[in-house]
């Protein structure tokens, strides 16, 4: 584990990664060397502005890192009670899965440290780019990207940890009062998120980005999700914010820039990266920075993969899969899940895997040939926007025709009969179920559980209150599980931080 002070030092030096490649650490201290940069002297050229914004993206990638120790991205999946694991070494997975989590959990530490590094980089870009002489349109666009990235990081952190430090300026010295910051109220963090996303909307971003950068579609989609969350718990802003969520989601829908893939296969086809349904993704490139979660989703030592490590790190709780409607295409073999695969040593033979493994995240080419994945990791897709719209507009005035169109587009692809003639309450739960099914194992479900204070009962197919809900394998959710613990290293190092209740 890193020394305690390192997490806060990230706030000081994190943004320097954008130019650290240009000079060695020793030479950096040599003021007589004109080729060396400091924070005060670096930001002078348009390419420096671009580099500063580029530095805001890598922190996204860090949480997908996976191996025998598990992967931080699985934290919110195990917290739903809908995921299993056979990876005994990944103790952090079991602590979350069995509701015995502690502030020592490395997954939470990964999110906290890397996302605050991303925020530090965004803060530096936002502070320094305005002073660079460059094309005004490009400058505005780059600032919009940086604000989107800051909003993404804060939106994730505030939902995971509740009251968190809110830093919007660079922290450039250990003597800065914000080197050991106090926590802000949750609503203050949301206010900043909304402001950042509004500025991103107005920054001249293109609707889509084939390169995978922040786009107007991503900004509006994220803002719709933010408003939907603010309408529910913990802020409970209600109808006004459901209206805002519906309006933003409608803007994405009405833009006609996005559409559902015709096939679920397209969800995990590298050739479909950053297109159609994929609105925003973490970028990977085979041979350069390959997708690094593939080992974690392979069945444990079944001998089906070109990867040498088959960890069995995460797969579906079968009780959940069995709740899907009988003819739901998503549960058919090699749609969302797979239960059989060919033997790595003889592809004419089939191996029974003994469980429901996550095919929607599975890079077939990498698994069967090169063990080097070209697959991106999806963060926002159009299906989520459609379901956000349907839920939000129903909360405003009941199920409208357009709300039915949105949810039924999801159901049509799943070969299910369309919904019709439902009361507002029945429509609400129908949309919730579609969210649980369509977005499963995409880091969405636990966040829905917390904002709704609801959990899906696998026996009744209804929704229980979050607190008191019993997982199908025994543990019972308590109020403390509405948040994750702030990492103990940060609590110990910064006496201004107060740990979340129950930890």
For 296-353, write each residue's pLDDT tens digit.
999 999 999 999 999 999 999 999 999 999 999 999 999 999 999 999 999 999 999 9
pLDDT band (50, 70, 90) for residue 36: low
From 469, 497, 496, 501, select the one nearest 485 (Cα to Cα).
Answer: 501
Show the CA angle centred on residue 43, arms to residues 56 and 120, nearest 5°: 30
Check whether 2 has a pLDDT greater than 90.
no
Question: How is the chain split into domains, by residue range?
Answer: 6-189, 206-282+379-480, 292-375
For the stretch 359-410, pLDDT in tens is 999 999 999 999 999 999 999 999 999 999 999 999 999 999 999 999 999 9
List the structure tokens of 21: 């490649």
Q: What 8-state DSSP symbol labels residue 372?
A: -
pLDDT band (50, 70, 90) for residue 66: very high
State residue 35's pLDDT score. 56
pLDDT band (50, 70, 90) for residue 39: confident
Q: Give the 3-state DSSP-derived string for 206-233, with helices as H, strands as E and coil as C.
A: CCCCCCCCCCHHHHHHHHHHHHHHHHCC
296-327 burial: b if 16+ Cβ within 10 Å, else e:
bbbbbebebbebeebbbbbbbbeebbebbbee
pLDDT band (50, 70, 90) for residue 480: very high
Helix (H, G, I), strand (E, B) or coil at 66: strand
Q: How far apart are CA 288 and CA 171, in angstroms?
A: 32
Q: Give the 3-state DSSP-derived string for 301-325, with helices as H, strands as E and coil as C.
A: CCCCCCCCCCCCCCEECHHHHCCCC
From 365, 360, 362, 401, select the one nearest 383 (Cα to Cα).
Answer: 360
From 186, 182, 181, select the one nearest 12 (Cα to Cα).
Answer: 181
List the structure tokens of 475: 């543990």
DSSP 382-449: HHHHHHHHHHHHHHHHS--HHHHHHHHHHHHHTT-PPP-S--HHHHHHHHHHHHHHHTTTSS-HHHHH
Rounded alpha-carbon distances, angstroms, from residue 314 to 46, 352, 361: 44, 17, 11
State residue 38's pLDDT score. 78
CB atoms within 10 A of CB 128: 20
Check whether 37 has a pLDDT greater than 90.
no
State residue 26's pLDDT score. 33
Q: Mean pLDDT score of the chain, rounded to an integer?
A: 93
Q: Average pLDDT, stretch 483-492?
A: 97
Check whether 5 has a pLDDT greater than 80.
no
Q: Average pLDDT, stretch 448-468?
A: 98
Q: How far apart are CA 229 and CA 452, in angstroms?
A: 8
Domain range 206-282+379-480, CATH class: mainly alpha
CB atoms within 10 A of CB 45: 12
Show the CA angle centred on residue 324, arms to residues 319 and 330, nearest 5°: 110
CATH topology of domain 6-189: 1.25.40
Check whether 8 has a pLDDT greater than 70.
no
Residues comprising the chain, all counted: 503
- Tokens 């959940």 belong to 320
Q: How far apart are CA 173 and CA 339, in angstroms?
A: 54
State residue 34's pLDDT score. 52
Say whether 206-282+379-480 and 6-189 share the same fold.
yes
Q: How far apart are CA 208 and CA 138, in angstroms?
A: 16
């Amino acid at each position: 584990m890193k020394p305690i002070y390192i997490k806060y030092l990230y706030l000081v030096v994190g943004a320097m990664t954008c130019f650290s490649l240009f000079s060695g650490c020793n030479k950096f201290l040599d003021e007589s060397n004109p080729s060396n940069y400091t924070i005060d002297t670096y930001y002078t050229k348009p390419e420096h502005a671009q580099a500063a914004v580029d530095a805001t993206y890598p922190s996204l990638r860090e949480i997908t890192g996976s191996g025998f120790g598990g992967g931080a991205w699985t934290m919110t999946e195990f917290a739903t009670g809908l995921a299993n694991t056979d990876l005994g070494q990944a103790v952090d997975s079991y602590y979350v899965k069995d509701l015995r989590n502690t502030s020592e959990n490395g997954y939470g530490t990964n999110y906290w440290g890397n996302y605050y590094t991303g925020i530090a980089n965004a803060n530096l870009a936002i502070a320094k780019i305005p002073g660079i002489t460059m094309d005004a349109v490009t400058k505005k666009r780059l600032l919009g990207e940086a604000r989107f990235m800051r909003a993404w990081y804060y939106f994730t952190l505030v939902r995971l940890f509740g009251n968190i430090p809110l830093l919007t300026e660079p922290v450039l010295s250990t003597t800065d009062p914000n080197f050991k910051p106090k926590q802000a109220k949750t609503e203050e963090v949301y206010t900043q998120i909304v402001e950042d996303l509004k500025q991103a909307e107005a920054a001249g971003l293109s609707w889509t980005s084939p390169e995978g950068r922040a786009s107007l579609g991503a900004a509006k989609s994220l803002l719709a999700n933010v408003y939907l969350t603010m309408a529910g718990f913990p802020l409970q802003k209600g109808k006004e914010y459901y209206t805002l969520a519906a309006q933003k989601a409608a803007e994405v829908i009405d833009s006609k820039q996005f559409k559902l893939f015709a096939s679920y296969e397209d969800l995990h086809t590298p050739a479909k990266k950053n297109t159609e349904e994929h609105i925003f993704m973490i970028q990977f490139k085979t041979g350069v920075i390959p997708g690094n979660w593939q080992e974690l989703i392979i069945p444990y030592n079944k001998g089906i993969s070109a990867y040498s490590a088959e960890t069995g790190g995460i797969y579906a709780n079968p009780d959940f899969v069995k709740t899907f409607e009988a003819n739901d295409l998503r549960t058919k073999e090699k749609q969302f899940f797979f239960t059989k695969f060919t033997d790595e040593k003889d592809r004419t033979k089939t191996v029974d895997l003994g469980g429901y493994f996550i095919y929607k995240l599975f890079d077939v080419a990498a698994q069967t040939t090169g063990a080097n994945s070209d697959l991106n990791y999806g963060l926002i897709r159009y299906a989520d926007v459609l379901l956000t719209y349907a839920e939000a507009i129903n909360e405003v005035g009941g199920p409208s025709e357009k709300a039915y169109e949105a949810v039924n587009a999801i159901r049509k692809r799943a070969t299910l009969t369309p919904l019709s003639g439902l009361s507002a309450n029945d429509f609400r739960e129908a949309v919730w179920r579609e969210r649980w099914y369509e977005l499963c194992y995409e880091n969405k479900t636990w966040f829905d559980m917390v904002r709704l204070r609801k959990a899906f009962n696998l026996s009744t197919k209804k929704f229980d209150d979050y607190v008191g809900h019993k997982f199908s394998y025994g543990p019972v959710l308590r109020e403390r599980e509405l948040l994750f613990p702030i990492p103990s290293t940060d609590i110990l190092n910064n006496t201004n931080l107060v740990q979340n209740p129950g930890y």
